[in-house]
Amino acid sequence: MSRMTGPTYDIARATGVCAATGRALVPGEPIVVALAERAQEEGFDRIDFSIDAWLKGERGEHAGRVYAFWRTTQPEPNAPVKRFIDDDALLELFHQLGDDEGAASMGETAAERAGRIAFRFVLALILCRKRLLRHEGSPEGEMLVRERGAEPESAPLRVEDPGLDPVALARASERLRAVMRGDE
């Protein structure tokens, strides 16, 4: 994830084919979409998997490079273009990025952790703007948020403040916009 310092990233559209099996994905079929770092250059690839292939752990050449993933359904070929990632998937991504134990168990480096923390912080800001998260306060070094509809007595979610300078904030924001657009 150390390559995540570039200013913009192009992410391809869906191919309609399972990356593990080569089988055409049927419209309406549940699938898993993965966002994986490119092996030899900056940026990300969108990779679609059938649910069966994903659950069997069939990642092929993409194993170890998956940055995030979410479940969705294969769209109809002539359906109007939807956003690359919906609100539920954005919330799921937010929670995945907050999994310090899972990242550490995968051998995350300090630079990768810094990129993940910055990405999650900017994502939290966007989710607050979309009113999917509610800002609850900003104690030293973190931001407290609560999901829309969460019980008032539930503990707020903690989002580490990476202390981004304006350039780093702009880069993290652009990466997130690229993920949300998915069609640059």
Nearest Cα to 131, choosing from 173, 91, 85?
91
How many domains would you assign to the chain?
1
| Domain annotation covers residue 72 | yes
26-30, 95-99, 163-167, 176-180: least confidently modelled range? 176-180
| Domain annotation covers residue 4 | no
- For residue 32, pLDDT over 50 is answered with yes
| Domain annotation covers residue 66 | yes
* Phi/psi of residue 157, nearest 5 degrees: -85, 140
Residue of higher predicted confidence among 127 and 9: 127
| Domain annotation covers residue 143 | yes
Question: Are 101 and 140 spatial neighbours (Cβ–Cβ below 8 Å)?
Answer: no
Which residue range forms the structural domain that includes residue 43?
30-181
| Domain annotation covers residue 123 | yes
Cα 182 to the chain's mean position, in Å?
11
User: CA 97 to CA 94: how far, in whole Å?
Assistant: 5
Label residue 158 by pLDDT band (50, 70, 90). very high
| Domain annotation covers residue 17 | no
Per-residue pLDDT tens digits for 100-135: 776 776 777 887 888 788 888 888 888 888 889 998
